[in-house]
Structure formats: C-alpha cells, structure tokens
Amino acid sequence: MATANQNLSDHDPNKVPSAEGMKICIVVAEWNAEITENLKKGASETLLKYGMQESDLLIQYVPGSFELPTAAQFALESNQQLDAVICLGCVIQGETKHFDFVCQAVSQGVKDVSLKYNKPVIFGVLTDNTIEQSRARSGGALGNKGDEAAVSAIKMVALKRRLEARS
C-alpha cells in the first residue's frame, strides 16, 4: 500500500512556497460527499495557511469524479487568471469494472487538461478499496489527500513562475 506508514498531510512547511497572489479553483465531486467534503476542507485550509486569499479561491462542485476533468477545463477556459485547478474526488472499488473505467478516465483527463492549458491540474482523487480506507485518507489516520493536493498545487504554480521568470 503506497500510503502505509505515511501521512498524506505531512510535509515540510519550509519547502512550501508562499501561495500569496495565487488563484486556484478546487473542483469537488459530490459523490461520496462524506469523503470529498473532508478533502475540500483540507485543501482549502492548506491553501489559506500558506498565504492564499480566500477571495482568490474558487470552489465548484460536479456530480462525480468522472466529471472532474471537464470541470477543470471549464474553469480554465472561463477564468484565464487561474493559476491551477485541484480536482478532488473519491472512487471506491465495487463489484464491477466501473471502478477501473472511472479511475482511468479521470486520471487521463486530469493529465490531458493540465497539458492542454499548460497549468497545473492536480489529481486529488482517492481510489480506494473500501470506505474505511477513504476515511483514513481524508482526515483520518493517514492524513488528508486534500492537504497533499494543495501543497502540490502551490509548488507547481511556484515552479512555473520561477521558470517563466528565467525566460
């Protein structure tokens, strides 16, 4: 298990750049809301902790994880000021192949939107076998994937800005 003995919320605050002046959209899947609301809370609190203004945070909801890439694209198309999009969702293994199709489509879609718009689109989607695993990764014993996604967004926006400043 990739998160065994690892807390998703653990990071070195000294290695996280300031989020001041960043404009980020969080897209949240409504499916498995118990989990995704915790992910949203973690991501939002982390962005604000590192200096992002609440007025620069846009939160949008979609029915499920499958819709996350399309919503990220809509957000980037409609707001050219956005520096990044964080996609938060939760897909739990069931008895059919649906899990595999949704996970594959979401991961590919998030990557495709990021490359198309040349902006960070962060994959903050839990793909667990059980609801208990999702609870552990959305503010439970293994931390919060939302925290991790927010730190990733901050670091990627900062990286892009540093590289563009060198041009």
**Could you list the active site residues?**
98
Distances in Å between the Cα of 71 and the Cα atoms of 59, 78, 163, 164, 166 are: 11, 10, 27, 26, 31
Helix (H, G, I), strand (E, B) or coil at 92: strand
Contact at 8 Å (CB) between 103 and 127? yes
- The span from the CA of 15 to the CA of 139, in Å, is 22
